[in-house]
């Protein structure tokens, strides 16, 4: 049987990688975004704006965040599908946050801890965790101990909850080897300021506050321009790099994101002064 896997995911799609493993074990020919006629076509879509073809079976957040391609969870990912040089998977899917802008609370993510060895391939020296909130896992330390024991480098895509950071967690991140030394956090809401500033101080204490540490800053959701400037200034003062994440693409959010990412502010005493000049 010829099986086609359709997706708008550029780098990887874990669901399709597991489906590929299943069908190859049945002796089927599997194609990624193939063109032509196939006996069976799966569609796994990340974005709702993606033009979609008719598929026999489909799911993913781009269709409905509550729909998953069930029945393949026990399959290990087919890393050859994307030509990956790293392992990919979850040790913990759940996130206790109920952020309105986020799709994760709409998904069915169990409070279930898994070993990296349920998906890690020992031929790789890098691992990418897709966890939604690693530090909310009661067994979070076990994940890092497995990573250390296997001498792995972590590819950080989703980052860590700065509000949950303490000395033990900061020391753990400091001990862990990250790809390109990149570690990500976020500051989404002004009401979290006290916890975020405490987290930034911990990053400084454990020397995790270099420019390779990136703090995502949600803009265009429920904060003002003044609050966006304030958060970015506090982050820069602590050492990491702010990275604006527009909730909606507007002239303001596009300009602000470009302004910060160009590091235009580094020539000025404050980000606010730089923004005034940049706007003019």
pTM: 0.90
pLDDT of residue 33: 93
pLDDT of residue 223: 97
pLDDT of residue 280: 66
Q: Name the phi and psi angles at 107, rounded to 5.
A: -90, 165
Neighbour tally for 44: CB within 10 Å = 26
pLDDT of residue 63: 83
Which residue has tokens 């033990």? 168
Give per-10-residue mean pLDDT for the chain (280 aa).
94 94 97 94 88 86 77 90 96 93 85 96 97 97 98 94 98 96 96 98 96 95 97 97 96 97 94 90
Report the CATH fold assignment for 159-280.
Rossmann fold (3.40.50)
Angle at 101 between CA 116 and CA 17, to 5 degrees: 35
């Amino acid at each position: 049987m010829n099986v086609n896997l359709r997706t708008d995911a550029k780098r990887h799609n874990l669901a399709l990688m597991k489906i590929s493993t299943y069908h190859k074990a049945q002796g089927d020919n599997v194609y990624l975004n193939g063109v032509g006629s196939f006996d069976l076509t799966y569609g796994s879509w990340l974005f709702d704006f993606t033009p979609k073809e008719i598929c026999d079976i489909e799911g993913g957040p781009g269709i409905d965040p509550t729909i998953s391609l069930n029945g393949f969870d026990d399959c290990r990912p087919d890393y050859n599908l994307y030509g990956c040089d790293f392992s990919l998977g979850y040790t913990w899917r759940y996130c206790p946050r109920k952020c309105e802008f986020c799709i994760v609370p709409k998904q069915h993510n169990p409070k279930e801890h898994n070993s990296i060895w349920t998906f890690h391939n020992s031929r790789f020296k890098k691992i990418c965790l897709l966890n939604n909130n690693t530090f909310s896992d009661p067994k979070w330390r076990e994940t890092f101990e497995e990573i250390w024991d296997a001498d792995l480098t972590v590819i950080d895509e989703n980052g860590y909850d700065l509000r949950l950071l303490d000395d033990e967690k900061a020391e753990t991140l400091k001990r862990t080897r990250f790809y390109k030394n990149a570690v990500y956090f976020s500051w989404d809401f002004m009401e979290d300021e006290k916890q975020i500033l405490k987290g930034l101080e911990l990053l400084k204490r454990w020397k995790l506050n270099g420019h390779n540490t990136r703090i995502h800053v949600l803009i265009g959701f429920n904060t003002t321009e003044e609050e966006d400037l304030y958060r970015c200034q506090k982050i820069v003062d602590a050492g990491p790099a702010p990275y604006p994440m527009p909730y909606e693409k507007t002239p303001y959010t596009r300009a602000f994101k470009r302004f910060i990412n160009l590091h235009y502010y580094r020539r000025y005493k404050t980000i606010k002064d730089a923004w005034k000049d940049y706007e003019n």
